[in-house]
A and B are shown apart, each in its own frame.
Chain A
Amino acid sequence: MTWIIWLLPLPPLLAFFVIILFTNKNKALSHGIAVGAAGLSWLGSMVVFITAIGTEEFGKHIFESAINWLPTGNTWLQIGVRIDPLGAVTLFFAAWTIFMIFIYSIGYQNFGQPKGDHDRPGLPPHGATVEEHGKKHTVPSIEPMYSRFFAFLGLFAFGMYVLVVSNNLLTMFVGWEIMGLCSYLLIGFWYGKPSARNAAVKAFMTTRIGDVFMLLGIAFLYSATGSLTFTDIFKPEVLEALAAAKTPILGLSAAGLIGLLLFIGTVGKSAQWPLHVWLPDAMEGPTPVSAMIHAATMVSAGVYAAIRMFPLISLDPATMSIVAFIGAFTALFAATIAVAQNDIKRVLAYSTISQLGFMIAALGVGAYVAAAFHLVTHAFFKALLFLGSGSVIHGMEHGALHTGDHADVQDMFNMGGLRKKMPITFWTFLIGGFALSGFPVLTAGFWSKDEILADAFGHGHMAVFVTLAVAAFFTAFYTMRQITLTFFGEPRTKAAEHASETPWTMTLPLVILAVFAAGFGWVGIPEHFPALGGIVPNWFHEFVGSTLAEHPEAVEFSWIPLATSLFVALGGLGLGWLVYRNVKSPKQDFLQIPVLKNKWYFDEAYNFLFVKPAYWIAEKFTSLFMDRWLIDGILHGAARFSLFLGHFFRNYIDKPVVNELIGDGTGNLVKASGSGLRKIQAGRIQYYMVVSMVVLVIFAVLYYFLIGGM
């Protein structure tokens, strides 16, 4: 079995290389290779999953295999693959959503449509003019970088599979970062748009903040335990030692600090407050990318990693409190922003942040299984919603091109009445939206969200419980606002009037995902649930719970969280419908409050606090002041001093003393005395006689005074 697991990530990677290197000119072949590769990995994943659920006591008999990778002294750092119950369910939803997104992308990127009139790489297609029955009209045009898109999707899928099948933190981190790269490449796919290229950089840098902390956590863990393999790390004696070791930071134990460092990685990747700012901007990418990043893979990966490290994180209560706080706060905080957004994708982006907060909060209160459950159900319904919103945008674009209407096709206030134009999209979107809101019993989202609330209540975390309940109310409210504005009422623009249903490559994935969004909850119905409990065994709890060494206890049933859950879901949905069924323009929307619309001004604050200072440090302080002025200044000073010394020696020692005084000086002296003496030797007898007389007199006088006088 392990050989299949080793091979799972390979097809999409090969697809990436083949498309990039060889087939990028041929669009049909490229998408054929990519979809085929995704299908192959999907098939392998299903084989692994089915074998896993068919294995007796799978939690004790997981699939694992490892090889030597890095030589370190006398030992090796091993890497390998592992599928345990948590891995198996993650693999299940990842394989399904990835495969669906690949198929959907064919339609979304307008395969089969003509080339655009003015399209160029790096910009979204603008549409092509075609002649039909002697009449010219505009239709959507194919994406100019169609093949490249599928190559990137392949690399992205590779990253996710690597992450899921890893049996160690190192290769998990490798997959994690490869996805980071792909999200950068895909968000910036239409790099010709300045907003897209900035969003790409923002996404990469924000998540990288989390990643460097995570890298430290990995280094710390590796130093402390000598291994990065989950099996080794989660041995009871290793965990005990980590829990007992103290660190100087915040009074945390080694386990707590490592857990916190790793968790910061999750905060970045899963867009939790305070590193949430990149995700809404990531909407610049084509829609399948949004689904890929926000549902199937990258953000789920963050939560998956946190769930994976639960045995470690849960050792320190302080770390757990931080986790619970961040999760609960993010859940509510993002939900408040979502209610005031008008862009159909941005609402979903904030809702994603909020839902990931639910999972993190669940983890923080110790609800391991509930977090995993919500991770899976959310992946399905959020992928569905993103693909659905993409379908809506696509239908709107069709209408906009057809009528020449230049309205913003992503603004929900420009939509309305789409339920009749796009029935499949409408019904599937409705299912997804209800699942997100936690519509009772019928949707998967209800079961997972209810379990989180029940766990928070059951474990006595009342603050978390109340916060999440309020957030859930907001969730239902903004979801209904979105559905009402988009699909109900009458079309508010020409584009919406002429919108049309999208091709089957787009609607088929919607239908399949809708099945899971509705039905997947049935595998996790609590045993003590009124009426329904016990009819279907709570398979999810049994299965995923067995990943841990100690099987987690299910909380006792209580009516309070259930009633709350029912109230917030139905109340939120109902209120959303009541408020928005007659709203026709943003002016009538009482929630268009600046502070919410501007996301509590976090972008502005970060810009002021971090981005601008970073520019200043880089450009002014380091480059100009430190290197140019200070260090080079000292060097140039030294050079100038040497020059001065040279000058000094030349002009004040060499020239005057050596050259003039000693060199030239001696010469001059000889010359001067020569020319002086020359006058004496004029050759005249009288002259000689006078000189002789004078000398004689001088000597006589000298003789008289010096010698004679004695």
Chain B
Amino acid sequence: MEFIRSHILTLILFFPVLAAVVVLLLPKNNLKAIRWTALGMSLVPFALTVYLWTQFQSGQAGFQFEEQYAWYAALNSTLHVGVDGLSLTMVLLTTLLTPVALLASFSITDRVKAYMFLFLFLETGMLGVFLALDLLIFFVFWEIGLVPMYFLINQWGSEKGERELWKGVKIQARNYASLKFIIFTMAGSLGLLLAIQLLGVLFKTYDLAALTAQWNSLEGTVLGLPVATVKTVSFWAFVVAFAIKVPVWPFHTWLPDAHTEAPTAGSMILAGVLLKLGAYGFLRLVLPLYPAESAKYAGALAFLAVMAIVFGAFAAYGQKDFKRLVAYSSVNHMGFVLLGIAAAAKASGTLDANIALNGAVLQMFNHGLSAAGMFFLVGVLYERTHTRNLDDFGGLFPLVPVYGGILIFTSMASLGLPGLNGFVSEFLVVRGSWPILTVYTAIAMIGLLFTGAYILKGIKSVLHGPLNEHWATGEHKLTEINLREIIVMAPLMVLILVIGIYPAWILDVINKAMMMLFH
């Protein structure tokens, strides 16, 4: 027990790798064993995280459960991990969504072993980013996450569909999407790597706490340039890398492709966790390392955020593909996260900023729940009908009443209906941003209005309307959502409702963390 307590973070971090190795050793054809092993072992990090949540002292400043091991002595980089309220929330989201996504993947029949292996490996990559307190380690995990996701999209993505690049050149949609995903992120990573190297070269350490202190007190010139210039350039290097990941308008077009082509569980994790890596980067690195630059360029960030909110909503409304519609909703929702961050950057330390940050972090968690749920529900329909075209649906409600009820519930969470989780976080962001970025907040309301439009469009085109004869009888007969699928949705729905009614249990942790981080 004492060992678990003192090594809890590394256990959470590396247990999925162990699970992946175990899965690798299982016989290839025993699908049942592979699936249940992967699911069962992925519950261990979740259980550990729940234990961690109970042991975590939310009122205590700084990082807790820190562990540090030698890693790359020549560069002075160490495997340094720790949690505060911010990373703890994200770790909880990750360890929760992974088993859910694995259970959702039970319908995969093609190369199950490789699939489960990559998925578990991916979990470690994501957790590493949230837990790292060393910039180089942060970057390593940041990149590690890309590889499994690339293969998940590329190998297990939807088989149909082509994308025309330019006249006469077409490639398979999932190749296009996976390539776009990895190249886009890598392009952002280049600047990030250079900026991290700059810090490492300057201060001979990659430790986050040490870097933050020294970097912020730096004066004079660096490499023959004024500090302000260097800081501005490296600020934007960080921002672009994270903005691509969030994704912020206009760096968002990889997202609808990647989300749409990825296998169902891949989309769940992409939307649920991977997007949060970008937002987490803003909160963990950009704001603490560049307070002055963040404040200076807060208006620009807010502008991009509002563009994402408004045009994300419009784009979602304009889709005919159900999955693409849901994918674009992520752009819309993550825009609110950035709006909150921008407001906090502009007026750091104020109560308004604190409220905006509370909203932003809670929105990250909430979007993880509702987006994962929505993608799963789209997947449930796709597995049965092999189409995502909204024009093919309509009038399905009488055929699948339980599915319909769950879809409406989850859609309403995504819409931000008061009483469910999304409302709390969006309200806090709007409340926090209003006095700081009044005009931008007001414009963002257009996006909020059209959130309603695209959500209702989804429900209307899938469920409502005259009974759909095509799916009603015969070989096309649409079957009701099954027990396994309901169990996938159950934890998400319960949390959506619980956070909507009583958000204080999680918001208290977030609030204290935000107060101590950005006082």
| Chain A residues packing against B (C-beta within 8 Å) | 20, 68-74, 120-122, 170, 173-174, 176-178, 181, 184-185, 188, 191-194, 197, 200-201, 204-205, 208-209, 212-213, 215-216, 218-220, 222-223, 614-615, 617-624, 626-627, 631-632, 635-636, 639-640
Contacts and interface: CB of A to CB of B under 8 A. Distances in A.
Interface stretch (B128-136, B262-270, B375-383, B461-469): B461-469
A409 to B, nearest CB: 21
A192 B354 contact: no
Contact of B434 (A209, A212, A220, A636): A220
B395 interface: yes
Contacts of A188: 464
Contacts of B398: 120-122, 192
A245 B511 CA distance: 30
B372 interface: no
Given A70-B424, A205-B456, A622-B314, A219 B431 contact: yes
A70 B507 contact: yes
B9 to A, nearest CB: 25
Interface in B232-275: 250, 252-253, 256
Nearest to A188: B464
A200 B428 CA distance: 28
* Size category of the binding interface on chain B: 35 or more
A363 to B, nearest CB: 25
B456 A201 contact: yes
Given A191-B463, A219-B441, A622-B315, A73 B354 contact: yes
Nearest to B509: A71
Contacts of A623: 314-315, 318-319
A331 B434 CA distance: 34
B452 A204 contact: yes
Given A70-B507, A636-B166, A20 B405 contact: yes
11 contacts: A69-B502, A74-B515, A122-B467, A177-B417, A177-B423, A194-B465, A204-B456, A223-B431, A618-B318, A621-B314, A627-B252
Interface in B443-463: 445, 448-450, 452-453, 456-457, 460, 463
Contacts of A621: 314
B215 interface: no
Contacts of B352: 223
Contact of A174 (B311, B418, B448): B418
Interface string B373-394: 0000000000000000000000
Centre residue among B252, B355, B428, B431 by max chain A CB count within 10 A: B431
Contacts of A624: 318
Centre residue among A69, A71, A122, A218 by max chain B CB count within 10 A: A71
Nearest to A222: B431
B277 to A, nearest CB: 21
B511 A72 contact: yes
A627 B308 CA distance: 12
Given A219-B434, A619-B318, 7 more contacts: A70-B507, A71-B358, A120-B398, A120-B467, A122-B464, A173-B418, A627-B315
Contacts of A176: 418
B74 interface: no
Given A120-B467, A215-B430, A178 B318 contact: no
B162 interface: no
A462 B463 CA distance: 52
A200 B456 CA distance: 9
Nearest to B453: A205
B464 A191 contact: yes
A120 to B, nearest CB: 6
Interface of B: 165-166, 180, 250, 252-253, 256, 311, 314-315, 317-319, 351-352, 354-355, 358, 395, 397-398, 401, 405, 408, 412, 417-419, 423-424, 427-428, 430-431, 434-435, 441-442, 445, 448-450, 452-453, 456-457, 460, 463-467, 502-504, 507-508, 511-512, 515
A203 to B, nearest CB: 10
A315 to B, nearest CB: 20
A56 to B, nearest CB: 36
Nearest to B451: A208
Contact of A201 (B460, B466, B502): B460
A512 B358 CA distance: 50
B59 to A, nearest CB: 12
A547 to B, nearest CB: 25
A177 B315 CA distance: 25
Contacts of A192: 395, 398, 464-467
Given A72-B355, A122-B398, A197 B508 contact: no
Contacts of B317: 614, 618-619
Given A72-B358, A219-B431, A222-B431, A631 B504 contact: no
Contacts of B427: 170, 215, 218-219
Nearest to B398: A121
B253 A197 contact: no
Nearest to A174: B418
A178 B315 contact: no
Nearest to B354: A73
A618 B314 contact: yes
A173 B418 CA distance: 8
Contacts of A121: 397-398, 401
Nearest to B251: A631
Given A194-B465, A215-B445, A72 B351 contact: yes
B466 A71 contact: no
A626 B423 CA distance: 29
Nearest to A193: B466
B250 A631 contact: yes
B445 A213 contact: yes
A321 to B, nearest CB: 23
Nearest to A620: B318
B456 A178 contact: no
A635 B253 contact: yes
B318 A197 contact: no
A246 to B, nearest CB: 14
A609 B397 CA distance: 32
Contacts of A20: 405
A74 B355 CA distance: 11
B314 A72 contact: no
Contacts of A614: 317, 450, 453
Contacts of B464: 122, 188, 191-192, 197, 200
B355 A627 contact: no
Contacts of A215: 427, 430, 445, 448
Given A68-B504, A204-B452, A178 B417 contact: yes
Contacts of A72: 351, 354-355, 358, 428, 511
A184 B411 CA distance: 13
A177 B418 contact: yes
Given A72-B358, A120-B467, A618-B317, A223 B253 contact: no
Contacts of A619: 317-318
B399 to A, nearest CB: 9
Contacts of B457: 201
Contacts of A636: 165-166
A7 to B, nearest CB: 15
Closest 9 A/B residue pairs (Cβ): A618-B318, A623-B318, A174-B418, A619-B318, A618-B317, A191-B464, A197-B464, A622-B314, A71-B511
A223 B428 contact: no
Given A178-B417, A622-B311, A216 B445 contact: yes
Contacts of B441: 216, 219
B511 A223 contact: no
A220 B432 CA distance: 10
A73 B419 contact: no
Contacts of B508: 71
Nearest to A248: B438
Contact of B504 (A70, A219, A615, A617): A70
Nearest to B508: A71
Centre residue among A218, A623, A640 by max chain B CB count within 10 A: A623
Contacts of B504: 68-71
B1 to A, nearest CB: 32
